[in-house]
Structure 1
Amino acid sequence: MPGTHRSANLSLAALMCLMTVAMTLTAPVSHAADPQAYSVTLDKTGSARLDQLLQDASTLISLRESAEVGPFALITRCKQDQERFMAALHALGYYKGEVSLRIAGRMLDDPALIDSLIDAPADPPVMVTAAFELGPQFHWGQITTEGDISQQASAALKLNTGDIALAEDALAARERLLNELLEQGHALAKVDEPVATLREDTDRVDILFRVDSGPKVAVGDIAVNGLKALNETFVRSHLIMSPGQPFQPSTIEIARQDLAALGVFSSVSAQTGKQLDSGGRIPVNFEVAERQRHAVNLGAAYSTDLGASFSGAWQHRNLFGNAEQLNLSAGVMQLGGNSATGIGYKGGAAFSKPDFLQRDQSLQIGLDAIKQSLDAYDLKTVLAELLLNRKLSKYWHGSVGIATQQSRIAQQGVTRDYTLLSMPLTLKYDSSNSPLDPTEGSIGTFSVTPTESLAGGGKPFVTMQVSASTYLDLGKPGRSVLALRGLIGDTEGAGQFDLPPDRRFYGGGSATVRGYKYQSIGPAFADHKPQGGTAIAAGSVELRQRILDDYGVALFADAGQVSVDSFPFSGSWQIGAGAGLRYYTSFGPIRLDLAFPVNPQPGSGSFEVYIGLGQAF
């Protein structure tokens, strides 16, 4: 009758099953004696998204080569696809849409279809075609909730009357509503599958969310399961949550991530109970799996300026049962290289204790012995340091410490001994998403290191340095990345030759300006050997582009200068540029860069090659 409308309740979850590629492709198949070959053509709808959804939904397409069918089964498969196509139209709001399938030009209900298929020759394949009449796209009408919920929870739906009625949006709204109720402390909240009602006379869809929020509750008993060598008292003291506090999934997730960050667990998961305890609280269980207590790591790198290097490290992840770490490392370096004059080595030991004196504060003790034979100087040094590291917030960390260094350094035929005492102060910001392959976020470090000369006749001095890098994801997720970095450093209180040679600033190499030999940028002696300076400034821009799944390329340009006064920008700028290849592995990209000096200076080579694990910065 005119003026009336038809309404129908729809299952949006059933519609959403069409939104994935891995749909139910296990339709029963009947094989005729002679399988019926066929081809499939789906008419274009004018919507690329709908075309792809229809393509993904079709068993005619996905099973055409892997599961042959006879004439009867082909008709059955077409009828099943007709239902799938209708669900796909509904999922994108085309509730008045129509689907028409034909086999060899005949409709599926044509009585003569089966006989024509039986008599059809094996070649050429019969043509299956699908045509679509979309009709109007429906929009959301009345949006209601049924149940006792707050206005804030209702606002979490983020559905608006008049928006296109997409099934995925309704299901996403249900998840947002449920998550908001949980975050408000309703640990047993339930939100039923939304119920949609068609209003065909107005091309609208009314939608209803039935909610049972349940009571607000607090956290009950907290269990930690799976501990072996790690002390449970330490784990519980490290947890940022305790019984009696308001239930919030976000707090539980932060606590889970915090436990995982200790470095002693291979996995950490958290589950809440299915029912309240006798006190009306919700129990929380953390399931942990401890990593192997010992680990061995090997590393290798190569560059034309510093040659090859090989390193190994042995790690104890839980020395005394409270996640203390002991690292013993050794490496050989400068095997060849145009900036090295001999083989170098480095050996060291580092101990760290988490939650030292208070939570989120660690004690680090390190001892290193280093030998370097470079164009700039020959160095033998022993360095000992004690650092107190503190997590200030999610992204900010700070450290303060004391370090002593005993060195013998030869430069330009003059050998001197130095004994230095310093107090390094560091503030670091890190919101990047990966240590080896960052694609978004930023890293910034500010350090001040007052240093007193205890022997060697040097003056006291203060070294200040600011470095930063940022990563812009131009083609999510992480396929096109623009990476930028900058560095400014300055030393006050001592002149160029009052400073030990290894405490001066040098430019050139992968850490500053690629394409130039290591430490080659800046003031030089008459034989073109580097002097080092008291101030530095450098910057880089790099475009990283993934190709296929495991490969990538990079284009980059670096610039930097080193000066002998307190002004970091007064030196002569040198520019390097180049390109690189990347091979992406499960543990990080393997990097190969080829760089050239744009404005070579005396002593510069024609190019430099860098090979290593992880991005350049």
Structure 2
Amino acid sequence: MPRHSIVLRLLILALALCGAVAAHAVERVRLELADDALRALLDKYLDFPEAAPGESQQGDEVVLMRRARKEIGDILATEGYFSPAIERQDKGDGVLHILVQPGRRTLVSRVELRFSGALTEPGQAERLAVLRGNWALPEGNAFRQAAWDEAKQRLLDALTARDFAAAAITDSRAVIDPESATATLEVEVDSGAAFRFGPLEVSGLSDYDEGLIRRYRPPEPGEAYSQERLLRFQTALQNTSYFASVLVDIDRGAATPDAAPVRVQLVEAQPRRIGFGGGVSSNTGYRVEASYRDAHFLGQPWNLVSGVRMEQRRQLGYADVFLPPSLDAHLDSVGVLAERTDISGLKTQRQSVGVVRTIPRGNTENRIAINYQHEILTPDGSVRSARSALAANWSWTYRAVDSILDPHRGYVLNLQVGGASRALLSDRNFVRMYGRYQLFVPVAERDVLILRAEGGMTVAASSDGVPQDFLFRTGGAQTVRGYAYQSLGVTEGSATVGGRYMAVTSAEYVHWYKGSDWGVATFIDAGNANDERKLFKMNLGYGFGPRWRSPAGPIAVDLAYGQSDHRVRLQFAVAIAF
């Protein structure tokens, strides 16, 4: 018989014997304890070896009991039980039964917080009172080692978060009296000096200069130290495409704490990147895309974002150049676009060039844009036409939600006003107004009710000569579900084109399953777009579908019924980058 076959059989036999021995291992120790929470704690951290079949453990009981008393006592002490009774019980079954009576739990009887340093100077009385009042392990609470450690850390974090960057706990004691089951806590804290920000010290720059860093609003020299201020500055730098790694901190050992240098350590990212992607949408069909990005365009800190996207119903190429923020935090960009679409019987060819200024202010964002576009429209069964407009547009958005990607509470409001004049390279005088309001209402523990309303109006003598971007069509995913994408509008030939009036309302209830990223929603939408207000009639759509919380936000797949055209549609949008 070949040697490798013999070795294989011996290995299988050895594994089988090991399994048999493990299956017949004998329980050696059993804890007897009334408190289920403490039993779970002891079971988690105690590990007594099991006995093999037929093995006598009488000689080991003394050793096991000695070990049990020490380890059980140490574990219970972390939960505030310093006088447990740990005894052996003999039940004649060959198992060492250990009876555990934890005794009285230790309570905090006195807390003494002592401070030194600049925190004790005049003017800090209110800060001291807040620190004492927020102490996390006050008198009367059960003493636990984890709670004791956490209370000290929270006290230190409250100090180092603002002003006192070098604060430290110089001494701490927990004096336990097992007889009275009480604990006296003493903590000594040295706040050190009050820090203020000093000059920037930047390292790691190669392609860019320090002027780029200053555009992201670093702390001003003389500004009071704040950990949140440093984090906000670090996040602003990290969110750019210029840097792969950012670390911002101060020199806590600075000889001049009233002007502590702000150290910015950077690792620059590769400026040029090529990306490819694909996806599918019920609105525009299958999609493939290629993109090119250059964060050092023309040797400047200008961020070029360009690409080509090919969809079944839409094809486009684009190039945008984003400038770094100004010292006033304004974000400027310039871009060009070429697009072809074939949606709801309307074929369009559009070329556009524009500039945009974005002004973010907390929860508010203002966008001012000037855009020139030329388009050629070919509605099925109607006459081909060309339209041009040099339009200015203002957009104002206010966000007051608990999460940008997955909101459960709050609202978002967007208002837009724009227009063009025949005196300035446009075929038609018009003014376009649009508004959208979305409200998120939490329901029960996990669910959310989402209410949406949007409306628009283009003031013009006629829609002829007004580019489709400044008119309105609706229908499809995220608008009026149950209808084809942009199929609700003005009928021209056999195509649907944009109208001067639009209104949409929606109500959606989402139930999220407990402990899961999955949920289910039911909804009702109503809306339409038209060119005449007196002919305006809302189209109703309703349905249901699953929801999945992806890293980019909830993804919806909806089975929707359009009441006006008596059709059921599956509507969704899924994209995968690779």
Please tell me the TM-score bracket, short chain as reference.
0.7 to 0.9
* Residue matched to 2:160: 182
Does 2:567 match 1:613? no
- Out of 378, 394, 403, which is 2:347 matched to? 378
Does 2:405 match 1:405? no
Q: Deviations over 1:279-336 (max 9, x none)?
A: 7754432222222111223232223453212222111123256642101111111x2x
Does 2:247 match 1:269? yes
- SS of 2:297's equivalent in the other structure is coil
- Out of 564, 571, 576, which is 1:601 matched to? 564
Query: Structure 2 matches for 1:327-406, cutoff 5 A?
Result: 327-333=305-311, 335=312, 343-356=313-326, 358-393=327-362, 395-406=363-374
Q: Following the alignment from structure 1 to structure 2, what is the Cα–Cα distance between the partners of residues 243 and 52?
A: 54
Alignment RMSD, CA only?
Answer: 4.0
- SS of 2:568's equivalent in the other structure is coil
- Out of 17, 27, 30, which is 1:38 matched to? 27
* Residue matched to 1:89: 76
Q: Following the alignment from structure 1 to structure 2, what is the Cα–Cα distance between the partners of residues 299 and 558?
A: 33
Q: CA deviation at 1:517?
A: 1.4
- Out of 150, 156, 161, which is 1:172 matched to? 150
Q: CA deviation at 1:369?
A: 0.9
1:440/1:96 Cα in 2 relative to 1: closer, same or farther (>3 Å)?
farther
Is 298-307 or 365-374 further displaced after alignment?
A: 298-307
Q: Following the alignment from structure 2 to structure 1, what is the Cα–Cα distance between the partners of residues 336 and 555?
A: 30
- How many residues are treated as equivalent by the alignment? 536
Does 2:502 match 1:535? yes
Name the amino acid aligned to 2:359: R
1:360/1:574 Cα in 2 relative to 1: closer, same or farther (>3 Å)?
same
Name the amino acid aligned to 1:353: L
Does 2:101 match 1:133? yes
Q: CA deviation at 1:157?
A: 1.9
Say if 1:509 and 1:519, in contact at 8 Å, map to a contact too: yes
Does 2:174 match 1:204? no
Q: Following the alignment from structure 2 to structure 1, what is the Cα–Cα distance between the partners of residues 323 and 294?
A: 12
Name the amino acid aligned to 1:462: R
Name the amino acid aligned to 1:600: Q
Q: Following the alignment from structure 1 to structure 2, what is the Cα–Cα distance between the partners of residues 77 and 290?
A: 59
Query: Structure 2 matches for 1:229-248, cutoff 5 A?
Result: 229-248=207-226
Q: Following the alignment from structure 1 to structure 2, what is the Cα–Cα distance between the partners of residues 83 and 281?
A: 52
Name the amino acid aligned to 2:241: G
- SS of 1:263's equivalent in the other structure is coil
TM-score under structure 1 length normalisation: 0.75
Q: Following the alignment from structure 1 to structure 2, what is the Cα–Cα distance between the partners of residues 296 and 74?
A: 69
Q: CA deviation at 1:204?
A: 3.3
Say if 2:85 and 2:100, in contact at 8 Å, map to a contact too: yes
* Residue matched to 1:438: 406
- Out of 40, 44, 52, which is 1:56 matched to? 44
1:190/1:226 Cα in 2 relative to 1: closer, same or farther (>3 Å)?
same
Say if 1:417 and 1:456, in contact at 8 Å, map to a contact too: no
Query: Structure 2 matches for 1:551-590, cutoff 5 A?
Result: 552-564=518-530, 571-580=537-546, 582=548, 584=550, 588=552
TM-score under structure 2 length normalisation: 0.79
Does 2:456 match 1:490? yes
Say if 1:588 and 1:613, in contact at 8 Å, map to a contact too: no
Q: Deviations over 1:329-387 (max 9, x none)?
A: 11111x2xxxxxxx53111110110223x231111111111111111521111122211
Say if 1:522 and 1:572, in contact at 8 Å, map to a contact too: no
Q: Following the alignment from structure 1 to structure 2, what is the Cα–Cα distance between the partners of residues 300 and 481?
A: 32
Q: Following the alignment from structure 2 to structure 1, what is the Cα–Cα distance between the partners of residues 452 and 28?
A: 58
Q: Deviations over 1:388-410 (max 9, x none)?
A: 111212x3222112112211113
1:591/1:213 Cα in 2 relative to 1: closer, same or farther (>3 Å)?
closer
Q: CA deviation at 1:417?
A: 1.5
Q: Deviations over 1:387-440 (max 9, x none)?
A: 1111212x32221121122111133512221112222212223466876x5255
Q: Deviations over 1:131-153 (max 9, x none)?
A: 54344444332111123343333
- SS of 2:434's equivalent in the other structure is strand
Name the amino acid aligned to 2:227: P
Q: Following the alignment from structure 1 to structure 2, what is the Cα–Cα distance between the partners of residues 90 and 539?
A: 58
Is 212-221 or 525-534 further displaced after alignment?
A: 525-534
Say if 1:165 and 1:205, in contact at 8 Å, map to a contact too: yes
Query: Structure 2 matches for 1:501-540, cutoff 5 A?
Result: 501-521=468-488, 529=496, 532=499, 534-540=501-507
Q: Following the alignment from structure 2 to structure 1, what is the Cα–Cα distance between the partners of residues 280 and 27?
A: 57
Does 2:202 match 1:224? yes
- Out of 261, 264, 267, which is 1:286 matched to? 264
Q: Following the alignment from structure 2 to structure 1, what is the Cα–Cα distance between the partners of residues 462 and 30?
A: 77
Q: CA deviation at 1:513?
A: 3.1
Name the amino acid aligned to 1:576: Y
Q: Following the alignment from structure 2 to structure 1, what is the Cα–Cα distance between the partners of residues 193 and 291?
A: 53
- SS of 1:543's equivalent in the other structure is strand
Q: Following the alignment from structure 1 to structure 2, what is the Cα–Cα distance between the partners of residues 202 and 344?
A: 79
Listed as ranges, the gaps of 5+ residues in structure 1 are: 1-33, 107-115, 117-125, 336-342
Listed as ranges, the gaps of 5+ residues in structure 2 are: 1-20, 120-127
